[in-house]
Structures are given as C-alpha cells and as structure tokens.
Amino acid sequence: MDALHAAGIRFAEVLQSGPPWLEKFWISVTSMADPKSIFTIFFPLAYFLNRKVGVSVLWIGLVSEWLNVVLKWFLFGERPFWWVHESGLASEELVTLRQFPVSCETGPGAPSGHCMITGAALWPLVTALTALASGHSRSLAVKLSPFGAYALLLLAVGLSRVFILAHFPHQVVSGILAGAALGRGLQARTPLARTSGFFVVAALALLLSSLALHSLVITAGLDIDW
C-alpha cells in the first residue's frame, strides 16, 4: 500500500508542477464540486427543469452522502497531505509539494466524497439531458455530449482532489466508479410519489443510524476518528 501511496504523491507532484493558472482552476473545480453544491445548486436547478429529475438528484445525493461517510469509517484511507509526513517519505526523499488553504482535510480519505457524491447525484440529470438531446438530434455526438461532459467533470474533480493533496488517485477512481454505479442503481428507485415529509424523516433516519453506527464501532474498540 505504501508503494501505491508513494506513486500517488509523485502524481500529485506532476500535477502541481503545471502552469500557474492551473492552480486557480483546480481549486475552483474542487470548490464547485463540494458535496453541498448538490443540495444548494444542482438540486434546485434540476427541480426547476423537471420535478422528477430534481427529486431524484436530491434523493441520490442524500443516500450517497450517508453511504460515503459509512464507507470511509470502514475503509479508512490516508490523506496525502498527512501521509507524506507520517510515513517518513518527506524526510527520506525530496518531495516538492505545495499546501493550499483547502489541503488540510481531516478524516478518512477513501473513497473520495467529492467524486462519489457528485457522480451519483448528477447521474439522473445527465440521463435526462441525454434523453432530451436524443429527442432533438440524430447525431451520436450530440446524444453522447451530456455523458461526455459528465465524464470530463468527474475527471476534473478527481484531478483537483489529487492536486490539493486531499486524496490519492486510487481513492478518486474508487469514488468515481462508486458514484456512477450508485447513481445508476438508485435512479429507478427514487421515491417520487412521496411527500416532502418522507424525505425529512428519511434524512433524520440516516442521521440517527450513522450516529448509532459510530457509537457501536467506537464501543467495539475501533477508533474511526483516528
């Protein structure tokens, strides 16, 4: 695992050695793709365009946010910014990395929440746009353009997370794959006929279950807050 982490550090060095203007770009991307943007930007936008799509974005964002927290508790995962010092790599080899105001994220790092939650919640929006494009054009390029934009966005988000040293590349890849699979799997299971009260109760249930799980794991002697 150390070899994989060391390779991730070298990849981050390559990213950070790019032209100066890319720094602002990567930081803007990682800020834009913060999971809270799903609820403050993408959900209202999708709901305005189509109620069913908006509800699906909200529901999948809610479930994927919860699942990402639970997965991180059990998969753990180092953070590059901390690992490079704690592993001793920085004292053994020349490591040329820069720190940014958003670098010092705490908590387990696997899988990437930015990639997983964004990838999952945007899936119904992308499929809706694909259906819309398919209905207005016979061009394969036009039909695939929403998924092309989706793939490029997740790639950019993943690279931005590696750039600021919040995640290793393998954590980003696992987050993207988990997000796409979760979005595809949950889209057809969105409780569209439910009232807003159902979603409030569901959110509280997920919150309470995560707190109960946290307490149970701590009681079992596993320090998930390391």
From 5, 85, 114, 170, the catalytic residue: 114
Note the pLDDT tens digit of each residue in 171-188: 999 999 999 999 999 999
pTM, two decimals, is 0.92
Note the pLDDT tens digit of each residue in 113-170: 999 999 999 999 999 999 998 888 888 888 899 999 999 999 999 999 999 999 999 9
Is 114 noted as a catalytic residue in this protein?
yes
**Quick one: tokens of 128?**
């809706």
Residue 54 within a domain: yes
From 136, 167, 170, 214, the catalytic residue: 167
Residue 225 within a domain: no
Residue 226 within a domain: no
Say what angle helices 2-16 and 169-187 make with each other, to 10 degrees.
Answer: 90
What's the pLDDT score for residue 101?
A: 86
As for how many domains the chain has, the answer is 1
Note down the domain range covering 116: 1-220
Residue 28: pLDDT band by 50, 70, 90 thresholds? very high
**Quick one: tokens of 120?**
């999952």
- Give me the helices (H) in 110-168, please: 113-121, 123-136, 140-163
Is 5 noted as a catalytic residue in this protein?
no
pLDDT surpassing 80 at residue 23: yes
